[in-house]
Amino acid sequence: MNKFYYKYITILCFSLWSCEDKDNVSNLDTIQIIGSQDVLMPKQTTYFYARGYDKDGNRLDKISVTWTSSDGNIASIDQEGKFIAISKGIVTISATSSDISATFDVIVSVNKKRVLSEMFTSST
């Protein structure tokens, strides 16, 4: 092979290597926060992830978001979506990409059963 082919293959490899596996956020219309738990006890952890949708309702799974917690004394969330409950209270987590964001409320309680029973009795 001549030098041209080696240069071409090298450039092609670098361009493929530098591509990110993220959906195009310019099509993003809404974000949904997905999590398995919304009531935790202090020191418990769980993970949240963000799912995006375009204006036609098509799902965009691999969107890049910035995670935030409304009160770092109650709970924290890192940029990978790992949520750590710290002390009792209600905290709102947010996932933001460009100008689009979504929120999700999480209750941190020392007695999980009492919080659940209060939620059900107060809604009736």
CATH code of the domain in which 27 resides: 2.60.40.1080
Going from the first residue of the chain to its last (124 residues), give the mean pLDDT of each consecutive group of 10, the final group possibly shorter.
55 51 68 93 96 94 92 97 97 95 95 61 54
Domain that holds residue 70: 22-122
Residue 109 neighbours by CB distance under 10 Å: 18
Six token digits for residue 27: 């099509």
9: in domain: no
The reply to whether 102 falls in a domain is yes
Total domain count for the chain?
Answer: 1
Note the pTM of the prediction, 2 decimals.
Answer: 0.69
Is residue 34 a part of any domain in this protein? Answer: yes
Q: Is residue 38 part of a domain?
A: yes
Give the pLDDT confidence score for residue 72 in this predicted structure.
97
Buried b (16+ CB within 10 A) or exposed e, 8-20: eeeeeeeeeeeee
Measuring CA to CA, how many Å separate 82 from each of 47, 67, 93, 94, 98? 5, 9, 11, 13, 21
8 A C-beta contact, residue 71 and residue 93: no
Report pLDDT for 23.
44
- Confidence (pLDDT) at 43: 95
